Amino acid sequence: MFPASFDYVRPSSIAEAVRFLNEHPDDAKVLAGGQSLIPMLKLRLASFQYLVDIGRLTELQRVEEHDGALQIGSLVRHATIETSELIEQGCPLLAETAAEIGDVQVRNRGTIGGSLSHGDPAADLTAAALAAEAQMIVTGPGGERTIAAQDFFTDLMTTALGPNEILTLIRVPKFGLRTGSAYVKMHQQASGFAITGVASVVRLDPLGRVESVRAGVTGVGSIPYRARKVEEALQGKMPDAHAIEEASRHAADGVDPLSDIHASAEYRREMAVLFTSRSLEKALARAGKK
């Protein structure tokens, strides 16, 4: 199927793109890697008068380190995140998660900013962004503003981005000593999307207790979320098998799980518990080696 007709706009700078979006807030859509948007257009699930292609803006394609944090341009592709030595050293969770996205073709075209901005409830990087406590740097007519990952995903396929704003940079604190992370998921066989995916980051104190823990969950609810009850249950504990099991039982607390052709709500709830446990076990094992 072919998409409805549209006008193609290719700005030469972020400022030009923002200016165009501000002039057409209800009629324009940003195009990055196109791995989510193009299928929606072809299926006529969405249509816009203007497509604003920012894919060639080189200033959004960099991975850098600054003041103890990774700064990842929104147009950095999944394949780059998967293989970047800087990301592997500073936030291996992102590299591990990117490797689980779709297939090689998708990873070579899709971008981190496009994935996060799309806000799909089953996307992989959303869970990693939550667990890594990423900050989204957003550019609009009034300049830049920063949105914490936990405030970025607001509803089904909806984010805190305004219609005249562009996600331009993702800032992620580098992991410190005694810190381990992991992303594990149950994926849909055809698409690779997560039926349940859990990203976790754990830091141990010198005595081996859990000093801090974060768990991001995708694929279960209408938006990705932090499993706060899991974090609270494990905080300060010696992370033995019993503590992990008890904490993981809270993986879907307060969440209304999705139900569709891939999995029932009850099945997703059970898988959230199982995959949270697996993610925590893996992250803790890695933390103990650092």
The CA distances from residue 126 to 97, 157, 175, 241, in Å, are 10, 12, 18, 27
| pLDDT tens profile 42-98 | 888 888 899 999 999 999 999 999 999 999 999 999 999 999 999 999 999 999 999
Three-class SS of residue 283?
Answer: helix
Global pTM value? 0.95
* Residues in the chain, total: 290
| pLDDT tens profile 116-151 | 999 999 999 999 999 999 999 999 999 999 999 999
First-to-last CA distance in the chain? 52
Q: Which domains are seen in the chain, by residue range?
A: 7-53 (3.30.43.10), 60-173 (3.30.465.10), 179-285 (3.30.390.50)
